[in-house]
Structure 1
Amino acid sequence: MTQEELKDIARCGETTTIQFKEQFTGQKEIAKEMIAFANTLGGQIFFGIKDKTGELVGLSYDEIQTISRELGNAANEQVRPTIYITTDVIRADGKHFLVCSVAQGKNKPYKNLNGEIWVKQGADKRRITENSEILSLFQDSGSYQADAAGVQETNFDDLDRYALNDYLKKVYALNLDKLSDNAEQMLKNIHVLNHNGIPTLAGYLFFGKHPEYYCPTFMVKAVSFFGNELAGTQYRDTKEIVG
């Protein structure tokens, strides 16, 4: 980053990916900023710049060394799982500034030692507590897949054996009845059942006898247009397909 780029960032103010700090404000507070960046789009913390005005204050050599050490400790000791950061020193107008870069995390959600989860909300951050938002972070990291979750209160007998058998014949050239004791393992392998033998959400929506009973909020919505062009706008009809 050049000094002109740094000065331009300071003039534009804080954003979702940019934060200013005149000085280090404590490991716990900085850890919240790191967590919010890692759980959202990543970002950079600029030390030596006033957050309200963007004034370039600068840091001394000792301040840079102290802040660099504290940043590493915060990332290692105040965040779970650990966040990996990079730091850089930029010189502008005869002053020095420390830049801490935090990449978007691969192991979301990140949280502090109190279990608090923070995300960016514009230039600020906010703590999230809603299960749906937390699950969304798990999905972003690939560690949770909603369609692989089990549909509670269902079991193998709630699946349509005829539909399953037809599918297995067409795709795998297999007969469900002839698999006997291996049938359940086969269905686990193709994610129709989860590891506990419960139908997955995807498996139940495809092969459940009565998906409208246990998954009433799910449906297929079909929209028909005249012609075969993807960009066509001549609407014909809509139908919601349930059950």
Structure 2
Amino acid sequence: MRVGLFIPCYIDQCYPQVGLATLQVLRRCGVEPEYPREQTCCGQPMANSGCVEAAKPVARHFAETFAAYDYVVGPSGSCVSMIRNHYDDLLDDAAEQQRLAGKTFELCEFLVDVLKIDRIEGRFPHRVGLHQSCHGLRELGLARQSELGPTATPQVNKVRTLLQSLEGITLVDLARTDECCGFGGTFAVKEAAVSCLMGRDRIADHQQAGAEVMTAGDMSCLMHLEGLIKRDGAPLRVMHVAEILAGNQP
């Protein structure tokens, strides 16, 4: 298979170690992805801010950049969801949009659903809290949503499945397993007070559960939470799930 490695712009600019960890994980799983250097943003910041016309050429560029690949894989549930669920408003060709949506995957989703991997060799002897980001959970279906109730159809938690296979790891039990962190892109700017309160609620939940490390499949959520953690001096580290699966240590 020919796999295009999609590294979101904020990871490329602010957290390059997450992009490198994603590459390492894919290689360990037998995939040698290609990184098209001409890739840019997926267009989500513009679209979420209501600037749909500004997002259209960005989406067009993305579609053309990754057209030749069998799969597109990225370490971001929100960016992958943007491509898969919201490009119908940005691309004129519906068939092209459907092809792109059908081959674009979040990292853990790709490992579990496409490569059929449920175990990663490695060791991470730490207490870890899993923050399940809203886009990955509710738009990509990476786990079952708690609001659906106990009668909902059971669903594999794809991120947790891979994490719990690591030797020595302890995944702590949170009081609220899938509550929003409050980031929401420009929401954190427009409604900063509410955003920070939501973020501190999530941090408190992880601390009360005894987590040493907070992880997630979206570095944007972790960026927001890490800012609050550092400001408050909380004894908690954040790591993207790709970093943990790659064997990095806090």
TM over 0.5: no
Report which structure shows greater RCO (CA 8 Å, sep ≥6): 2
Q: Which has the larger radius of gyration?
A: 1
Which one has a larger percent helix, Structure 1 or Structure 2? Answer: 2
Which one has a larger percent strand, Structure 1 or Structure 2? Answer: 1
Task: Please give the TM-score of this superposition, normalised by the length of structure 1.
Answer: 0.21
